[in-house]
Structure formats: structure tokens, C-alpha cells
Amino acid sequence: MLDDFMVRASIAGVGVALIAAPLGCFVVWRRMAYFGEATAHAAMLGIAIALSLEIPIFAGTLVAALLMALTVTQLSGRSLATDTLLGLTAHGGLALGLVVASFLSGVRIDLMAYLFGDILAVTRVDLLLILLGFLAVILLMYWRWSKMLISTLNEELAYSNGINPIREKFFLTISLAITVAVSIKVVGLLLISALLIIPAAASRTFSRTPEEMVIITAVVGVISAISGLQFSYLFNTPPGPSIVCVSLAIFLILSSIRPLRSN
């Protein structure tokens, strides 16, 4: 069954959609959209370094995404605003990564595959990495769920409940780095943040609790992945952007059914 590239692509797409669902919700709740994007862009530097050191791409992106997220967390609130810092590290990391990659004369690298994903070329090893990423994120979420939610609501409320919100943010950052690392193959680093945000945004008006929102987000993500792939197969469009377009269409349809209420 795994010999069929479409089957492998579908499994990868569904797996990444499931991983992205809880993270996407947190990104929307905590207003971390740009943080997610910066983490993803900085992964380009990780890819370049992984290629030059001949270590697995997955390891390179994971470390780069993690370092970038931790750097921003450490530096924010000093002399520059967080969004400025994010812009700096995101595009700095992307540019630096592209420059480093250009020095790798011996290897022919397909930049488009990293920037926009190459889901049709997903291998069994990639599937295994997605499975491991899925298990890691789900376990982390299950373990920290209440604590992360309370920290998201209010930091002082967390402290008074004996929860350290800084620690919860760290767990969230790790989960985000894992998500970025496994998603690059599927949608590419330029569209990862769309994969996180759009399904979560689409599900908001239909959920009454945080858990419902995660479940609906997962459903929207899975439908987008499968139909996006089919669309790409039928009309010969790039698969990663097609998945994002389908989730955007779902978002538009759902918001027209029940218009987004203002606060």
C-alpha cells in the first residue's frame, strides 16, 4: 500500500494536519501567528546547515526552529518589540539560509521543495518522522493541556494555581518546532503558518470549548489535506499550495454560514 506515492502523500498530509490542529489553536489563542511563521522561516537556515554538515534535514530544521523560538522568547521585551524581533529573525534566518545553501556547490538542491513542500516525494522515512512527531506532540499536549490552557488565559492565574507559565510556553515552543520540522516536506516552510492558522480560524465560530475547537480544526485540516491532494492530482497544481487553498475555501464557506461575531 505504501508503494503508491499518492497513498504516502495522503498519509503525510493527514498526519501533519492532525499535528497542526492543537498547535494551530494555541497559535490563534495566544496571537502567535507571526511567531509560528518566524519559526518556520528560520528553518531554512537549519536546512542549509543540515545539507552542509550532511546531517538529516529533519534534525537541522528542528534545532533551527527551536533555537529561533527560544532566542525570540529570550530577547523579547528588551529594547525591541516582539514583532520587530520576529521579522528580524524570520527573514534574517531565511536569507542567511539561502546564502549558505548557495555555497553548497557539490549538491544540487531543489529550493522549491523546501519553500513550498514536496509532498508527492514523501518517503517511508518521512512517514516515520511524521508518526514520531505526531506521537510526541499528542503526548505533550495531553500531558500539559490544562496547564497550557490556564497559562494562555492569564499568567497570574497560572502562578496562583502553582503553574509556571514560562515553562508551559517552553513546551509549546518545542511542540511548534516539531510541527515545523515535520511539515516542511508537506507544505514547505513558506506555507506552514497557513496550515496552522487557517483550519483553526475556520473552526472558531463552531466551537464552544477549546477541545471542540481542536477537534473541528483537525477535521478541517484532514479534509483540506485529502481534497487538496486530489485537486492537485486532477488539475496538476502544486500540492502544498492546493491544500492551503482548500482550507482557505473551507474557512470562507464556514464564515459565510455563521458570520464572525465581533467581540
Partner 1 sequence: MKLLSTNNISVKYGSNVVLRDVSLDINEGEITTIVGPNGSGKTTLVKTIIGAVTPFTGSISLTENLRIGYIPQRLSIDYTLPMTVQRFLNLSHKISKEDCISVLRTAGVPDLLKTQMSNLSGGQFQRVLLAGALLGSPQILILDEASQGLDQAGSAAFYQQIESVRNEKGCAVLMISHDLHVVMSASDKVICMNGHICCSGKPEAVANMPEYHGLFAAGTEGTLALYRHIHDHDHDHDHDNLRKFKH
Q: Which residues bind partner 1 (CB under 8 A)?
A: 28-29, 31, 146, 149-150, 152-157, 159-162, 204, 207-210, 212-213, 261-263
Instruction: Report d(CA 19, CA 169) in Å as an integer.
Output: 17
Nearer to partner 1, 236 or 263 (CB): 263
Smallest distance, partner 1 to C-beta of residue 141, A: 15
Instruction: Report d(CA 262, CA 204) in Å as an integer.
Output: 12
Smallest distance, partner 1 to C-beta of residue 3, A: 42
Nearer to partner 1, 48 or 148 (CB): 148
Annotate 106-169 with three-state secondary structure.
CCCCCHHHHHHCCHHHCCHHHHHHHHHHHHHHHHHHHHHHHHHHHHHHCHHHHHHCCCCHHHHH
Smallest distance, partner 1 to C-beta of residue 223, A: 20
Quote the cell numbers at residue 187.
Answer: 507544505
Nearer to partner 1, 181 or 220 (CB): 220
CB atoms within 10 A of CB 262: 4
Quote the cell numbers at residue 146.
Answer: 490544562
Nearer to partner 1, 88 or 149 (CB): 149
Smallest distance, partner 1 to C-beta of residue 150, A: 5
Smallest distance, partner 1 to C-beta of residue 78, A: 10
Nearer to partner 1, 115 or 216 (CB): 216
